[in-house]
Structure formats: C-alpha cells, structure tokens
Amino acid sequence: MSLFAKKPLDQLLAQAADSEKGLKRTLGAGNLIALGIGAIIGAGLFVRTAAAAGQAAGPAVTISFIIAAIGCAFAGLCYAEFASMIPIAGSAYAYSYVTMGELIAWIIGWALIMEYALGAATVSIAWSEYLNKLLGGAIPYEWCHSPFEQFTDSNGVVHQGIMNAPALIILLLLTMLLIKGTQESALVNMIIVFIKVAIVLIFIAVGWQFIKPENHTPYMIPQGTAPVLDAAGKEIVNYDGFFKHGWGGVLGGAAIVFFAFIGFDAVSTAAQEAKNPKRDMPIGILGSLAVCTVLYILFGHVLTGVANWQEFVDPEKGREASVAYTISEYMKGYEWLATGVTVAILAGFSSVILVMLMGQSRIFYTMSNDGLIPKAFGELHPKFKTPYKSNWILFVFVGLFAAFVPGHVAGDLTSFGTLLAFVLVSLGVWLLRRKSPNIERPFKTPLVPIVPILGALICTGMIVAIDTTTLKAAFMWMLLGLLVYFLYSKKNSKLRNPSEILPHASDFESKK
C-alpha cells in the first residue's frame, strides 16, 4: 500500500459519529470561542505589541495587527470548513489523512507535538517566572530553574538550578483538571479568559484618557530615522532596512505580532466534543480570532498613545515590562493596574497551557485510534470519558521538559509546527474541493482556491523567516518522527490492516 494512502472520508465521519465510544459532546459555541481566546491571548499581547512598535511599525502597529489577522483569517476559514465537515478530534492531522495520505498526516501529527506539547512546556516555564515576579522573588532560584541554569548573586555566590517546581505544579494541576472532564476544563478556562480580558479592557478604558495625540505623529516610522544605541554605544535597532520603516515597517511589524495570534487552531482539536460542530466550530474558530483582533488593535492604539513608541526600543521596556512601564510612568494613580497586568499574564499563560495540553491529548487520541501510536493514548476514562492515559503520558513528557530544560531551548519550534499545520490545512481544503466536490459542507471557505493559496503562501513565508538554528532543530525532530513512523506506525496502521478498520458509514456526500 502506498505511503500516501488516504483514509476514506466516510470512515472518518463514522468514527466522529460514534458518540457512545467516543469523547463526550459537552461544548457549545461560547465554550469554543473561550477556548480560542484562551489559547490566543497569552503574554504575546503584552510583549509583541511593544516589540513590533519599537522595532518596525511605530504607532502603526495597529495596522500590523490587521495585516497579521488577515493572514490568520485565510487559514482560519480553511480550518472552519474542515472542522464543520469533519468534526473529529485530530485537527490538521485528521484533515491531512483524508486529503494527502498517511505519511503527510503522520508528519503533521508529529509536527503538532512541537506546537502543543513543547508549547505547553515553554509557557509553563514562563508561568513560573511571572509567578516568582508577582511574589517578589520569594521562590529560591534553585527551585524555579533547570539544572542547566545558574546565577551569580551580588555577593559572588553561585546558585545552581535544581528543577523548575512551579512549572511542574501548574502542569500537574491542569492535567488533573483535564482528566476530570472537558466541561469542567472549559468552565475554568472561561473564568480565566474573563479575568484576563477584563484587565485588558480596563487598561484600554483607563489608558484612553492618557493618550497624547502627538505620540501618534508620525504614524509610521519615517525613513532616515537614526539607529538606536545602548549606553555602551552598541546598536540596538537600525531602521535602514525596508521592513524597518514606513509601510515596509508595518509589514515587518505584522511578522512580529503574527505569533500573538497563534492558538485559534486549537479550537479544531475539540471538534469531537462540540455539541453541534457543524454550526459551532466555525463560530468558535472565527469568533475567537475576531474578538482577539479587536482587542489587539485597541490595545496597540492605547499603548503607543500613552507612551511614545521610541521608548519601547529599550530591551528592558520593549519586552515584558512594556505595559507595566507605561502604567507606572504615564498613568499616575493607576499603579495597581501594573499588578493586574501581571495577574492577566499569569492567567493568560494558564489558559494557554490548558488548551495546549487538551489539544495535544486529542491529537494523540485520534492518532491512537488510527493505530499510528500505542493504544494507551486512545483509552478513555470509564467515568469522565477523557483520554486520561494520554493526559498522564503527556504530563510526564511535558513535565520533564519544563522542570529540567531551560525555556529558551524550544525557541520558535512551536511556531514552526503551527505554520506547517496552517499550510497543509489550507492546501487540503483546495484538494478536497477538487476530489470530492459534492460532500456536504456546513461551512464553505469563500473564494476557493484564492483564499487557501494565499493562506499557504503567507504561512510558508513565515516558516522561511524563522531563524536557521530553529529550522535545523525542526528538521532533526522531523527525521526522528520518520524513524518512528517506519519502525512502528507503518506496521500498526489500521488503514493497512483492513480487519481493524471501522465499518464505513453510509454515503455522506450530498445528493446532487
């Protein structure tokens, strides 16, 4: 059988329709929108906005957000068509299995581990850092850093990390919550989303009265702007390049803030737990993207209006301290809001970890049902109907990474896995339209093939822009995945063992 053998669509639909043996359908449209917002709004909003303004776009970072959102919308429209048509938990992996064959499906399933599992580990490490910052450094260095990190204090004493205990604890708590049930997890996520969105809205509402129109003039970084130097005379930012000023800078800013949007695709991993996936999945995917886009634009407008964009060039102000700096320097009387922003970032991290762990376990669940990974990943809890063994295995893998490996090691691997998924889903919609034009599609991606092609091209461009070191690491990870496929998955694939394949459903194609 060919390496590119495709899984029959009617078989996949039959698997999704098997509600007695499958995951519980407990999520409504509101839950799905909250899941999307929970995955999208993390620290990216607070970090990427100032970085893009200071390095490329200036006050026009608001336009950068619009451009990045349009790029995401192309992929989002393609996800919405697939998720409404094939309400299965595997997301891009499952869609690729139907349209491009088993080997491509395995590659994307393996790549998604970088997005979800490594993403959850990296965010949990950042969660630990912000918790310690909120507590004023009360956690000893040894117990919030990996053994590969060390720090020399002002007295010359060297502190060697032992393990990142807070990162491990938050992963354990969220894993237990996920095992308890999807509905309970969705409820906690909705509460977290309410907290962080409320703080973002408070910052926008309070900050609006402190906006100085002169900070928005000129709106784009002018050509010929002098480079910025640090105290030692070393260049921090140079604005000579095309993507560093004017409209080119706006596009450069879009590339920076694009990663603040990553996460909406996690909604599609919950398709098999949606009450009415044909209606609710497009609402969840596109609704969460729309809400976050509006918040991002307003946030960027206020941040660059209260403080001048040039102040964000300083690395200490242009990174996680940007919002707190703006509040403390220019919003007198509202210093308490700076603490609120830290709480919002912690809440944002928590919901991102929750949705990432949920998404990865659902992809493992579907891959296990296809025989490509061991059966344990697909076993459901007898009472809660959640893939509890997959959750525990994932906790061990992610926990080991979070507790003992420095956070910077993951780098942009998370983004690579996400963008690769976006490319294949975009192409998959076009391929399935040509192969099976009569299948019932509750939601249709408009302007096919223009939208899928633009989605694939934009995301491919983002992959090319990733640094060489990260691309090499991703290449090594993919080679390891191919080794696993040929040694285990290919032999155990249910598609290659017809006796194990689920019976086909009746004809799912609509009548002409």
d(CA 250, CA 254): 6
E strands, 225-379, in order: 228-229, 235-237
**Is pLDDT above 80 for 443?**
yes
Average pLDDT of 299-316?
Answer: 87
Lowest mean pLDDT of 52-61, 309-318, 383-392, 491-500, name the range.
309-318
Collapse the DSSP code of 421 into the 3-class scheme (helix H, G, I; strand E, B; otherwise coil) and give the result: helix
Q: How far is CA 276 from CA 86, 250, 266, 272, 474, in A?
A: 12, 39, 17, 10, 36
Q: Cis before residue 227, ω within 30 degrees of 0?
A: no
Handedness of CA 243, 244, 247, 252 (dihedral sign): positive
pLDDT of residue 149: 81
Domain ranges of the chain: 9-227+242-500
Collapse the DSSP code of 333 into the 3-class scheme (helix H, G, I; strand E, B; otherwise coil) and give the result: coil
Handedness of CA 144, 147, 151, 152 (dihedral sign): positive
pLDDT of residue 220: 93
**Is pLDDT above 50 for 504?**
no
Residue 489 gets which letter from DSSP?
A: I
pLDDT of residue 321: 62
pTM for the model: 0.77
Provide, rounded to the nearest whole percent, the portion of the chain with pLDDT above 70.
90
Lowest mean pLDDT of 41-55, 103-117, 201-215, 427-441, name the range.
41-55
Q: Where are the alpha helices (DSSP H) in 164-276?
A: 165-180, 182-208, 246-257
Q: Please indicate whether residue 408 or residue 181 has the higher confidence score (pLDDT).
A: 181
Collect all residues with Cβ–Cβ distance below 8 Å to 69 and sequence separation of at least 6.
Answer: 261, 289, 293, 296
pLDDT of residue 113: 85
Lowest mean pLDDT of 158-167, 177-186, 288-297, name the range.
177-186
pLDDT of residue 298: 96
Collect all residues with Cβ–Cβ distance below 8 Å to 480 and sequence separation of at least 6.
Answer: none
**Is pLDDT above 90 for 305?**
yes
Collect all residues with Cβ–Cβ distance below 8 Å to 78 and sequence separation of at least 6.
Answer: 425, 426, 428, 429, 445, 451, 452, 455
- pLDDT confidence of 153, banded at 50, 70, 90? confident
Average pLDDT of 91-118?
Answer: 86
**Is pLDDT above 60 for 318?**
no
Beta pairing partners, 235: 229
Determine contact, residues 235/228, Cβ cutoff 8 Å.
yes
Collect all residues with Cβ–Cβ distance below 8 Å to 363 and sequence separation of at least 6.
Answer: 89, 90, 91, 93, 109, 112, 116, 269
Q: How many residues appear in the chain?
A: 512
- Written in H, E and C, the secondary structure of 370-417 is CCCCCHHHHCCCCCCCCCHHHHHHHHHHHHHHHHHCCHHHCCCHHHHH
Write the single-letter amino acid at 132.
N
**Is pLDDT above 60 for 509?**
no
Query: CATH number for the 9-227+242-500 domain, one of 2.40.160.50, 1.10.10.10, 1.20.1740.10, 2.40.10.10?
Result: 1.20.1740.10
C-alpha torsion 280→282→283→285, nearest 10: 120
- pLDDT confidence of 339, banded at 50, 70, 90? confident
pLDDT of residue 486: 94
pLDDT of residue 216: 95
**Is pLDDT above 70 for 485?**
yes
**Is pLDDT above 70 for 473?**
yes
Average pLDDT of 261-272?
Answer: 78
Beta pairing partners, 158: 152
Mean pLDDT across the chain:
83
pLDDT of residue 229: 75
Return the closest-CA partner of residue 182 out of 284, 282, 285, 273.
273
Task: Compute how many other C-beta atoms are within 10 angstroms of the C-beta atom of residue 455.
Answer: 27
Residue 15 half-sphere exposure toward CB, CA atoms < 13 A: 24
Tens digit of each residue's pLDDT (9 = 90 or more) over 181-239: 777 777 888 888 888 888 889 999 999 999 999 999 999 999 888 887 766 677 778 88
**Is pLDDT above 90 for 302?**
yes
d(CA 433, CA 446): 12
Collect all residues with Cβ–Cβ distance below 8 Å to 258 and sequence separation of at least 6.
Answer: 68, 71, 72, 462
pLDDT of residue 18: 58
According to the per-residue pLDDT averaged within each range, which of 155-159, 302-306, 456-460 is highest? 302-306
**Is pLDDT above 90 for 62?**
yes
**Is pLDDT above 90 for 351?**
no
Provide, rounded to the nearest whole percent, the portion of the chain with pLDDT above 90.
26
d(CA 394, CA 369): 17
Strand 150-152 versus strand 228-229 pairing type: unpaired
Write the single-letter amino acid at 409.
V
Tens digit of each residue's pLDDT (9 = 90 or more) over 3-46: 778 888 777 767 666 555 566 777 888 888 888 888 788 767 77
pLDDT of residue 480: 94
pLDDT of residue 1: 63
Tens digit of each residue's pLDDT (9 = 90 or more) over 382-401: 888 888 999 999 999 999 98
pLDDT of residue 297: 95
Residue 235 gets which letter from DSSP?
A: E
